Amino acid sequence: RVQWPATQQGMLVERPCPKGTRGIASFQCLPALGLWNPRGPDLSNCTSPWVNQVAQKIKSGENAANIASELARHTRGSIYAGDVSSSVKLMEQLLDILDAQLQALRPIERESAGKNYNKMHKRERTCKDYIKAVVETVDNLLRPEALESWKDMNATEQVHTATMLLDVLEEGAFLLADNVREPARFLAAKQNVVLEVTVLN
């Protein structure tokens, strides 16, 4: 944990994040009472080293479904407030990369039917792998052990992250619906989240 020094009323104290994480933590000494903010310190900017590693892989344009699986693995362990918000931002970035990677797998008229079928099959499989990993990551971010990390965020960051989390799930579901053969039904069920996509012809 972070050691907080005595400070003047109304001051915002900044300290390095807990050992093993990167970033700056802050804690507000309330102006009127001279007490620390009862919500506790703000650890929204505290992230594990893997957050930066995943961000680099996204920048280099690696396979989106593979990166999503890696994100799911990382969020299974202990996570910090910054890991939660960063994971949601990373999933949002992955959606854009996945969309671009799927464009490369669109059928082309001058190619053989067999080649186009293989592309369509790969597109569908890639989408499903991505969505499974996203659902697992969201499940990890919502498990009881992760709720402490949500409490370490400031209120604005909590609302923003929760909203983005829902958006990422919804956008991923629409992307999957656009890339599966009709009719289709896809279900990913975890303890804290269930995603179902049904495509009718």
Q: What confidence tens digit (pLDDT) does each residue in 1-11 have?
A: 899 999 999 99
Q: Tokens 């690696």 label which residue? A: 62
34 and 61 both lie in a single domain? no
Q: In this predicted structure, what is the pLDDT of residue 174?
A: 95
112 and 193 both lie in a single domain? yes
The CATH number of residue 22's host domain is: 4.10.1240.10
Euclidean distance between CA atoms 33 and 42, whole angstroms: 19
Which pTM was predicted?
0.91
Q: In this predicted structure, what is the pLDDT of residue 59?
A: 94
Say whether 30 sits in a helix, a strand or coil: coil
38 and 53 both lie in a single domain? no
DSSP-assigned letter for residue 181:
P
pLDDT in tens, 130-186: 999 999 999 999 999 999 999 999 999 999 999 999 999 999 999 999 999 888 999
